[in-house]
């Protein structure tokens, strides 16, 4: 039986866990150029998606504390039957991310009603 190779290309990461063509700096520039940031994630294996988590984790050491000063951050969390623990974890993570980089965390919505209430803060 032949092994299955998921990755056709291997990349060696430096200590910042990045590589030259990963487009992360484009994400940072996009955040920097807007006053309102909306991050959305489906519930995936009891938490936010890995892609969103990677964006947040990669900011450490790349983004300066306070770099996104005064930007408004909203979080949309979608999933069926979200538990209070899952909601609390999402809220904590996004609030902490906002605090580290100077954003004004506006809150999280996980339903249409909550999203409509958050929209009033725009």
How far, in Å, CA of 71 to CA of 101, rounded?
9
How far, in Å, CA of 37 to CA of 59, rounded?
15
How far, in Å, CA of 82 to CA of 108, rounded?
13
What pLDDT is attached to residue 53? 92
Q: Is the pTM of this model over 0.85?
A: no
Those residues whose C-beta lies under 8 Å from the C-beta of residue 32, and which sit 6 or more positions away, are: 67, 68
Model confidence at 6, pLDDT cuts 50, 70, 90, reads very low
How far, in Å, CA of 52 to CA of 10, rounded?
22
Three-state DSSP class for residue 76? strand
Tell me the chain's radius of gyration from C-alpha atoms. 17
Per-residue model confidence as pLDDT tens digits over 56-112: 999 998 899 999 999 999 999 998 888 999 999 999 999 999 999 999 999 999 999
What pLDDT is attached to residue 8? 41
């Amino acid at each position: 039986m032949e092994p299955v190779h998921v990755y056709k290309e291997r990349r060696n990461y430096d200590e910042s866990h990045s590589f030259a063509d990963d487009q992360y700096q484009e994400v940072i520039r996009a955040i920097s150029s807007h006053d309102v940031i909306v991050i959305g994630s489906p519930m995936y294996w009891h938490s936010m998606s890995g892609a969103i988590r990677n964006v947040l984790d990669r900011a450490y050491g790349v983004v300066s504390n306070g770099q996104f000063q005064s930007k408004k951050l909203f979080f949309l969390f979608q999933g069926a039957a979200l538990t209070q623990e899952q909601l609390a974890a999402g809220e904590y993570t996004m609030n902490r991310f906002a605090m580290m980089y100077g954003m004004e965390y506006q809150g999280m919505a996980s339903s249409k009603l909550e999203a409509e209430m958050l929209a009033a803060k725009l």
